């Protein structure tokens, strides 16, 4: 047995409308299907480059709270982009909260920006340094 890749990443969301707007219109992910279950539904987005994002919607019944970035668990999701600075301008224009402005990280060989989705999940855009 060998791992072939990431199939999907799941997030619990507090507001499905804000989350689908964010991932669909702000980030430009293609929305796929919505799958209803008893008490919740799943909304899928295609992640550019492979895999899917799975949003769990409990109709606002799941509490949201800020976690410290040093706590165990998911720290952030990172996506490769071709221009971090342009991405930062677009995110700012859309009113997205940026927690780390575009920053060169020479030790990692990348330039990155950190920002929050509507659920307080930290996302990163990164670009290889030239």
Q: Is 21 exposed, middle or buried (0-12, 13-18, 19+ CB in 10 A)?
A: middle
Supply the range of the domain harboring residue 42.
1-61
pLDDT at 14: 87
Which residue, of 12, 33, 61, is where some domain finishes? 61
- The answer to whether the CB of 26 falls within 8 A of the CB of 92 is no
Tell me the pLDDT tens digit for each residue of 110-126. 999 999 999 889 999 99
Task: Name the residue with higher pLDDT: 73 or 123.
Answer: 123
pLDDT at 51: 92
CATH of the domain at 23: 3.10.180.10
Tell me the pLDDT tens digit for each residue of 78-98. 999 999 999 999 999 999 999
- The region of weakest confidence among 34-38, 74-78, 112-116 is 74-78
Q: Is residue 103 part of a domain?
A: yes
Q: Is residue 70 part of a domain?
A: no
pLDDT at 65: 61
Instruction: Answer yes or no: do 41 and 83 share one domain.
Output: no
pLDDT at 63: 62
């Amino acid at each position: 047995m060998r791992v072939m890749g990431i199939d999907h990443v799941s997030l619990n969301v507090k507001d499905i409308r804000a989350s689908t707007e964010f991932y669909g219109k702000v980030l430009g992910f293609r929305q796929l299907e919505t799958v209803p279950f008893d008490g919740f539904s799943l909304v899928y987005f295609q992640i550019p480059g492979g895999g899917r994002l799975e949003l769990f919607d409990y109709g606002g019944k799941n509490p949201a709270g800020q976690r410290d970035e040093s706590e165990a668990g998911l720290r952030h999701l990172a996506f490769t982009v071709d221009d971090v600075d342009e991405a930062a301008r677009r995110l700012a224009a859309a009113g997205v909260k940026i927690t780390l402005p575009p920053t060169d990280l020479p030790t990692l060989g990348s330039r990155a920006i950190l920002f929050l989705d509507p659920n307080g999940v930290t996302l990163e855009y990164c670009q290889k340094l030239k």
